[in-house]
Structure 1
Amino acid sequence: MSLSAFIAQWGIAAVFLGCFFEGETAAILGGVIAHRGLTGWGETALAAFLGALLADQLWFLLARALPAESRAGRWLKARSQSGTGSALFRRLEQNHIALTLAFRFIPGTRILGPLALGRSSMSWPGYSLWNSLSCLVWAVLFTGLGYHFGQAAEAGLGRLHEVHFLGLLLVVALAGLILARLCHHLLHRR
């Protein structure tokens, strides 16, 4: 089986799982393989949307189900009562919708956002509605970026051989992971 056939067969599942577990890098890579014609862009964006949405819903519901005396429950409670944390949680209570729409686009908050919102007074149906909208915009944006990145790479480099295409995918994935780690480090350094 060639690399192209393998990606055509398993690419959508990989985008779904990648967006469930990681996020932006998987969505961008999905857009690149869609540009290559190995998957359709619409189905790739849908897989990114569903993976991101399912992960967010899982974290939100998990936060709701966490007993207050569990380790994670105590951690969230301590954060909500500390100086900076209490101000953050007060803002969260005042701006449920804005935070639900924004956290997916803020590096380092992909898991923390749904956990914090799950411990807030926001209703699950309200969260689901606004989170669905946010995930839809996010999936279209990042798979679209990947699609156009693939188009720009092809314009500059020509149609790549499978081996070179795999190398390009690996470079994009590595760059995405490094960028995500850098953003995470910078946010936590503050």
Structure 2
Amino acid sequence: MSSIADSILHLHGFTALALVFLLPFAESAVFVGFVFPGETAAILAGVLAYEGRISLAGGVVAVILGAIIGDTVGYEVGRHFGTKLIHGPLARWIKADHLRRTEDLLTRRGGWAVFLGRFTAALRVLIPGIAGVGRMPYRRFAFFNMTGGAIWGTGFVLLGYAAGASWHTVASTASTVGLIAVAVVVVAAVAVFVVRRRRRGPETGDRRTIAEVDAAGEDVQTVDLGGPT
């Protein structure tokens, strides 16, 4: 990955902008994120701007558009082909624990899972496709996708711009920091959920995960991915 990053940092102008768009786009659209994390591409966009090879505004826009459009494609791929891909060609790349966590997060948190997943590498690759498999309403997905993509893209490009020549250190800790931040938010959300549920009493309705429904041979369209938004 280091050699890829060094090659990107030798580019400039339109070619550099195209690449920092394509890498976040391909992360969940064609699952490149299993090999090259999108936040690294976003940080590199900031470094390129720091070195004067592209404009800072252009780098931010390219990364944000790549992230949002890529997740939209991932959602559509999941909607039409997701189950076959997850249990077929992609099975060797997807850890069972990551898949289970993604399904559970989407089932419980709905649109917020799309937003939070943007900040964690493993979830960022999986969530758009799983949201498509579970038929999350597209408007809900699009809102949280665009919001998360805009904040994530802007933040990591600016981080790369501020880091400059020290970007290696920033990139090595970016995923860990993102995971910790999401974990804190999820723990807080779960605590609020538990408190509210105790006050209301037990909920009714089918809240099974996608994997459970699929294993039972039922139509995955019936899975509830709405969750509180």
TM class, shorter-chain normalised? 0.5 to 0.7
| Match in the other structure for 1:98 | 112
Partner residue of 1:29 out of 44, 58, 67: 44
Partner residue of 1:62 out of 70, 77, 83: 77
The TM-score with structure 1 as length reference comes to 0.67
Q: Report the alpha carbon displacement of residue 149 of structure 1 after superposing the two structures with TM.
A: 0.4
1:133 equivalent to 2:151? Answer: no
Q: Report the alpha carbon displacement of residue 107 of structure 1 after superposing the two structures with TM.
A: 2.4
Give the number of the structure with larger relative contact order, counting CA–CA contacts within 8 Å between residues 6 or more apart.
1
For each residue in 1:6-56, what CA deviation from the matched residue of structure 2 results, as whole angstroms up to 9, or x when unmatched? Answer: 513421111111222341111101001111222111110000011111211
The TM-score with structure 2 as length reference comes to 0.56
| Matched pairs, number | 156
Q: Report the alpha carbon displacement of residue 67 of structure 1 after superposing the two structures with TM.
A: 7.0
**For 1:31-180, what aligned pairs fall within 5 Å after superposition?**
31-66=46-81, 70-72=84-86, 89-150=103-164, 153=165, 172=168, 176=171
CA distance change for structure 1 residues 34 and 132 in 2, over 3 Å: closer, same or farther?
A: same
For each residue in 1:73-116, what CA deviation from the matched residue of structure 2 results, as whole angstroms up to 9, or x when unmatched? Answer: 6799xxxxx99977863542231121011111012122211122
Taking every aligned residue pair, what percent have the same amino acid on both sides? 25
CA distance in 2, matches of 1:7, 1:83: 40
1:93/1:121 contact within 8 Å kept: no
**Equivalent residue letter for 1:124:** Y
Point out the structure with the larger helix share.
Answer: 1
CA distance change for structure 1 residues 65 and 145 in 2, over 3 Å: closer, same or farther?
A: same
CA distance in 2, matches of 1:126, 1:66: 20
The alignment yields a C-alpha RMSD, in angstroms, of: 3.7
CA distance in 1, matches of 2:44, 2:107: 35
**Equivalent residue letter for 2:61:** L
Unaligned 5+ runs, structure 1? 77-81, 154-167, 185-190
**For 1:9-24, what aligned pairs fall within 5 Å after superposition?**
9-21=14-26, 22=36, 23-24=38-39
